[in-house]
Amino acid sequence: MKNIPVAIYARVSTGKVEQSESTEHQISQLTAHLKSMGEEYYTEPALHYVDEALSGYYTKMEERPAFKRMMEDAKEGKFKVLLLREISRVGRDDEENLRFVNRFASLSIRIKSLHDGFDSSVPGSELGFKVKNMIAQIESERISARVSAGMREKSKKGVWVSSMVPIGYVRDKETKKLIIDEAYAPIIRDIFHWYVIEKRGTPTICELLNQRGDRTKNGKLFVRSHIRQIIQNPVYIGCVVYGSKRAKLNREYDEKGNLIRKNQKFVKTNDPIVVEDAHSSIIDKSIFYKAQEIMKTRGSIIDRTTPRRATYPLIGIVKCGKCGIGMVTSKALKSKKSDVYLRYYRCGNYHKGGKAACTGVAIRADKLENELFTRLFHHLSALDMQHMKSQGKAEIRTLESKVKRMETDKKKLEKKQTDIALRADLFAGEVFENTMLALKRQIENLDQRILAVRGQLNEMCSKGENTLLLSQLLERMKQASLDDLQALRAIFDELIEKVVVADSQTIALVNYKYRFE
């Protein structure tokens, strides 16, 4: 009798056709294996979860649509067994994979991996999973290194190896080199002509392109960042540049030490491949280098490591009520005869793409900041401090529990190191070395997280409770000057999640980080 529902999860990291077929192959393999498990097991299409074109290393599990749906179905008890082709289909990040196993174990769901031989119903399987999981991550890093080396060799021959072909070019199917695409090349020539010869700025160029109906290769409106990228790209003078940046895994944790997001962070390298005259140029070199001088003079190359948050305290918090995009900063003279500049928050879409992107919202920065400051002061003055006191105690207990759990995990990893070291003869030399190195990295990562959480705990304990924190904020607001923009930024960061502006006079919505009751 078929009474045990089985889910199947498949994933590939790209959207290529051959990879899409690979997910079908994974499901076919696992469905065939299911028949050998016994007549009581069954599956159905609704229990097949497939994620395509999503990295198992750089994306959080919850950011994958199919995986997220699978977790929701698991909580509802729609299946009792999960089949995988191999551990790497879950992901190649050992930290997240261990969290995944623990979550399914808490739901009493059996996990079985076909190629790895992992079965969570078998006693002692957790250690095997962790070892294989670490090996999968190491293999992922090695594959990435081999692929990168191959790309570098191709780039040296002038081949365009990136999957993204810049606008104005297409890739020759035989040579894999770039050739001019005359459907879009005139746009590139116009951009450089307007910028260098007619001295027009990127906002004006963007508006001109959009108004005459030009669109990107993806059919989207041009925005200022597109224009800047085109002007700075040496591909338009015939150069192939590869390896100027490399991807690095970036993890972000909340105040409690929980992983909230992970993504790729690109860092500069010291040894990029640069091949000149690799293909036909669209722009003359003299024009291109003149454009770089103009951009440098105008200060259009933005240093993103130093955001203007102090000057504009609501950057990253305030949103346009018409399109929902974040608002950016601008200045304008108070009047034609005045030499006094006023600060404004302006719709980011309008700022980047003009009226074709959004009709735009703009609001005086000082008026918006003053209004929000007044509202916050009113809420804090009327706050029930006794209620916040209990919240502070709960926060301390949560942090203490977090530290204990992480210290327990660390002890388990240290024991695992010892166990593997005693059984070194069971591993190939390189596998043993890599496994021990991965364990060391995990322990070091835990040490860092424990240190961070202990710092938060010490800070909370020194304050005693959240009541003191909000009391301090209230005192800071009593003493703060509305002209002290850095102080305003700190206050808004502490208390406001999001502000939505409807028009130049109206605040449509304010989401606070605390419930002021």
Dump pLDDT digits (tens) for 192-212. Answer: 999 999 988 888 898 899 889
Q: Residue 512 in contact with residue 392, Cβ under 8 Å?
A: no
Indicate if 23 and 135 belong to the same structural domain: yes
Taking the C-alpha atoms of residue 213 and residue 202, their distance in angstroms, rounded to an integer, is 17
Closest to 467 in 3D by CA, of 357, 384, 389? 389
- Distance between the two ends of the chain, CA-based, in angstroms? 56
Which structure tokens are listed for 42?
């069954």
Specify if 161 maps to a domain: no
User: What is the CATH classification number for the domain harbouring 89?
Assistant: 3.40.50.1390
Indicate if 58 and 126 belong to the same structural domain: yes
Specify if 259 maps to a domain: no
* Amino acid at position 189, single letter: R
Among the residue ranges 1-5, 131-135, 267-271, 310-314, the one predicted with the least confidence is: 131-135
Specify if 367 maps to a domain: no
Indicate if 143 and 11 belong to the same structural domain: yes
Question: DSSP class of residue 257?
Answer: S
Specify if 244 maps to a domain: no
Residue at token pair 């190896």: 161
Indicate if 181 and 144 belong to the same structural domain: no
Taking the C-alpha atoms of residue 32 and residue 6, their distance in angstroms, rounded to an integer, is 13
Task: Assess whether pLDDT exceeds 80 at residue 131.
Answer: no
User: What is the CATH classification number for the domain harbouring 288?
Assistant: 3.90.1750.20
Indicate if 138 and 184 belong to the same structural domain: no
Name the region of 507 (left: φ>0; alpha: ψ -120 to 50; beta: rest).
Answer: beta
- In this prediction, residue 110 has a pLDDT band, given cuts at 50, 70 and 90, of very high
In this prediction, residue 384 carries a pLDDT of: 65
Q: Residues of the chain with pLDDT > 90: what percent?
A: 29
Specify if 228 maps to a domain: yes
Domain that holds residue 415: 385-512
Specify if 16 maps to a domain: yes
pLDDT per residue as tens digits for the range 276-313: 999 999 999 999 999 999 988 775 334 333 344 446 88
Taking the C-alpha atoms of residue 76 and residue 64, their distance in angstroms, rounded to an integer, is 19
**221: exposed, middle or buried (C-beta count within 10 Å: 0-12, 13-18, 19+)?**
middle
Average pLDDT of the chain to the nearest whole number: 82
Residues 6+ apart with CB under 8 A from 318: 326, 327, 345, 368, 498, 499, 500, 501
Indicate if 140 and 184 belong to the same structural domain: no
DSSP string, 320-364: ETTT-PBEEEEEEESSTT---EEEEEEEHHHHHHGGGT----EEE
Q: Residue 361 in contact with residue 321, Cβ under 8 Å?
A: yes
Indicate if 479 and 408 belong to the same structural domain: yes
Indicate if 176 and 232 belong to the same structural domain: yes
**361: exposed, middle or buried (C-beta count within 10 Å: 0-12, 13-18, 19+)?**
buried
Number of domains comprising the chain? 3
Indicate if 91 and 174 belong to the same structural domain: no
Specify if 180 maps to a domain: yes
Task: Assess whether pLDDT exceeds 90 at residue 79.
Answer: yes
Half-sphere exposure of 113 (CA within 13 A, CB side): 20
Indicate if 211 and 287 belong to the same structural domain: yes
Indicate if 134 and 181 belong to the same structural domain: no
Indicate if 70 and 186 belong to the same structural domain: no
Q: What is the pTM of this model?
A: 0.48
Taking the C-alpha atoms of residue 82 and residue 217, their distance in angstroms, rounded to an integer, is 41
Q: Return the biggest CA–CA distance within the chain.
A: 87
Specify if 285 maps to a domain: yes
